[in-house]
Structure 1
Amino acid sequence: MTVMSSQRNMATNSSIDHCNVPNNATYQTLSWVMMGEFVLGLPLNLSVLYIFIFRFKFWKNKSIFLFNIVVADFLLVACLPAKAYHYHKHERHNQDKVVCKTMFFMLFLNRGATIAFLITVSIDRYFNVVHLGRKNFVKVLKKSPQISILIWLLLLPLTIPTMVNTFECCNSHGREVETFLHDVTDTFREIVCFTQIIIPFIILVYCTVRIVNRLRRKTVGEKTKLRRAVFVVLSVVVVFSVCFLPSTIARAVLLGVRLRKWQAAEDVVVQVYDGLMVLSYADCLLDPLVYCFCNSGFKDAYVATFCPTFLQTRWPNSDCGTVTTTTTTYTNQNPGTKTVSFQVLEKL
């Protein structure tokens, strides 16, 4: 009787929590993918942190928002080994509720921070191009480190629902026993999950369309700056389209299937959703492209530090570093002298 009761409780918990692994081979593969993201992402983000702090000096180059994205990516990379370990053990979550909730809290916080600062950078570029000459409030905000701290603090209330005690197994909705607190917590979390992707994506599309239209109307002499602005917003759109949108769509499908109690379909959709979530962690590998498009000085500093030979052949007129003025004086055939001044760029 005790064994039968235990088995019945296990089955009930499985149906309530939806934490079973439908296919061991799928999650074994996903664990190796995450380890690959970790192996590539750790040295990449460490090198980017080094450049931002010691070579580029982000606080002097108005790149505080970009530096915050680097911090968010680094925290995300730090979570990947634990997540990969759980998948390798054929578990969708850690059995310890504290560890499980902490992991989801970190993932929600890091994703929210990345999106918030990427959108801020895109809006800043939009105002610089489309509304050139008008007062750009983003340009004023990005000079203050206190604003970045405020953004992080505002993100905390949006991640608190992942720490609620009744948050069973890090899942949402479709439980056999649904309490009012369960329902409110899950609904709030899902609203945050979807709005933090959909609303920023709409903003990105709007900024991209306006900047492209501005590029078409501008004269040839101004097109270089505008093309760079287009590359910035397009790179952010690529990050959203590859990393965030697919998992968000899969999340919506998963919730619909779970609420209708289609267990066979749920077993498939769960694997698709978890696979796309693993893909979303690749934003820590794609974000450096945004840094390069946003600030050519960062690109030049990075290449000068880690690829100096390549820099000399491809970017002989690199714009990173300091500029010194050398004055040469010579005498021509006519009386008097002529002074010629030219700029020499010193590499970082």
Structure 2
Amino acid sequence: MESTETNCTAESRPLYVFYSVVMIVEFVLALPLNLTVIYLFIFKLKFWKTNTNNIFLFNLVLADILLLICLPVKAYQFAIGERRSPNDVVCKAMLFMLFLNRGASIAFLSVISIDRYLNVVHPGKKNFLKILKKSPLISLLIWLLLLPLTIPTMLRTFECCNSFGREGDELATDIFRESVFFTQILVPFIVLVFCTVQIVNRLKKKTVGDRTKLRRAVFLVTSVMLVFSLCFLPCTISRMVLLVVRFNENHKAEEYAVQVYDGLMCLSYLDCLLDPLVYCLSSTKFKSLYLEHYLPFLIGKDGQPNDSSHSTGNSSNPAHLNNAQRERQMETMKTLTTQGDPCTS
């Protein structure tokens, strides 16, 4: 059996330095974006006062921020040539945070997609999600349900926190931990595929009425599925390959499989950057609010993003246009703070 030090050491130092750079770039880009989004949810939308998906979206962004906090630590370990921290406490604490917050991110994305499916495919029926989402307790319940699924990372000292197949007397614990890893990705992905197919079919069957909201619902659930496919499925497949190679005791192949797996795990952290862009900023209401607060120079005189097609002959009177724009912005702000889900528009 390999020693802990050998198993924790990166075989290809330049490759892991590159991985650390990737994680730092993800951290630098995603943290400010998530912080600006969470500021709007708290101080402008006042998410706790709304009976909508705002609460779910807030928890989604919160999970992403907590996950981002772990990235500098992992990047540092990779940069010095270690796959995991040799410190047992740090190692297990990192795994606990990564399991918990990535699981929360996946859970809230799934709940948002399921809610959109119920609203679009079964709009007239009362469902448990419509009732539960009126209370912030459902979000707390999701966090609490994720805790027992994360406990296996804290039960014992893993060999480099990754000992599956190496400690026979603890095989049950390892099987439970690996089952959680695969289940929290594969099951939500199947649910997302189902929701996407059902909403697309609903859009095809709708021949009259407003199809705009349906198209946005299709865009939302499709985006969730694509992010899952990009961020989570590759690392899941590579994990399966790694376990097969490890059981076959092919040490040379395992060395390469470990490097691929660690690299694809770095790719999975990209969801912290994609979540706010796809699920929050895809909403026209939230996009307008975000632009007005952080990128006002992109707002045109008609309240839409600046575009050459929006220019008119009235541009000779800037003072009048500025006053009109300010009035529109105030009306938009009032609407955003009193209306519901920013993703239903």
**Aligned counterparts of 1:282 and 1:88: Cα–Cα separation in 2:** 19
Q: 1:56–1:301: 8 Å Cα contact kept in structure 2? A: no
2:62 aligns with 71
**Aligned counterparts of 1:306 and 1:257: Cα–Cα separation in 2:** 49
Select which of 156, 159, 172 maps to 1:184: 172
1:7 aligns with none
Superposition RMSD on alpha carbons, in Å? 1.9
2:316 aligns with none
Q: Deviations over 1:15-61 (max 9, x none)?
A: 9x732312111101001111111111111111111111112222234
1:27 aligns with 16
Q: 2:238–2:257: 8 Å Cα contact kept in structure 1? A: yes
TM-score, normalised by the number of residues in structure 2:
0.85
CA deviation after TM superposition for structure 1 residue 316, in Å: 3.6
Q: Identify which of structures 1 and 2 has the higher relative contact order when contacts are C-alpha pairs closer than 8 Å and 6+ apart.
A: 2
- Give matches, 1:253-272, under 5 Å: 253-272=241-260
Given the alignment of the two structures, is residue 156 of structure 1 paired with residue 147 of structure 2, yes or no? yes
Code of the aligned partner of 1:13:
S
Code of the aligned partner of 2:44:
R
1:131 aligns with 122
| Percent identity (aligned) | 59
2:220 aligns with 232
1:211 aligns with 199
Select which of 44, 48, 58 maps to 2:47: 58
Q: 2:4–2:159: 8 Å Cα contact kept in structure 1? A: no
1:88 aligns with 79
Given the alignment of the two structures, is residue 41 of structure 1 paired with residue 41 of structure 2, yes or no? no
Select which of 328, 331, 340 maps to 1:346: 331
Q: Where does the alignment leave 5 or more consecutive residues of structure 1 unmatched?
A: 1-10, 318-342
Runs of 4+ in 1 over 4 A off after TM superposition: none
**Aligned counterparts of 2:31 and 2:193: Cα–Cα separation in 1:** 31
Q: 1:232–1:290: 8 Å Cα contact kept in structure 2? A: yes
2:234 aligns with 246
- Give matches, 1:295-314, under 5 Å: 295-312=283-300
Q: Deviations over 1:186-243 (max 9, x none)?
A: 1000000001111110000011001000100102432111001101101111210111
Q: 1:76–1:107: 8 Å Cα contact kept in structure 2? A: yes
CA deviation after TM superposition for structure 1 residue 315, in Å: 4.2
Aligned pairs, number: 308
2:138 aligns with 147
Code of the aligned partner of 2:77:
H
Given the alignment of the two structures, is residue 277 of structure 1 paired with residue 265 of structure 2, yes or no? yes
2:313 aligns with none
**Aligned counterparts of 2:121 and 2:271: Cα–Cα separation in 1:** 27
Report which stretch shifted further, 141-150 or 76-85.
141-150
TM-score, normalised by the number of residues in structure 1:
0.84
**Aligned counterparts of 1:51 and 1:267: Cα–Cα separation in 2:** 45
Q: Are residues 56 and 312 of structure 1, via their aligned partners in 2, closer, same or farther at CA, if it must alter by over 3 Å? A: farther
Q: 1:28–1:88: 8 Å Cα contact kept in structure 2? A: yes
Q: Are residues 347 and 32 of structure 1, via their aligned partners in 2, closer, same or farther at CA, if it must alter by over 3 Å? A: same
Q: 1:212–1:230: 8 Å Cα contact kept in structure 2? A: yes
Given the alignment of the two structures, is residue 120 of structure 1 paired with residue 111 of structure 2, yes or no? yes
Select which of 194, 201, 211 maps to 1:223: 211
CA deviation after TM superposition for structure 1 residue 314, in Å: 7.3
Q: Where does the alignment leave 5 or more consecutive residues of structure 2 unmatched?
A: 306-326, 334-345
Code of the aligned partner of 1:187:
I
1:199 aligns with 187
Q: Which structure has the bigger radius of gyration? A: 1
Structure with the higher fraction of residues in strand conformation: 1
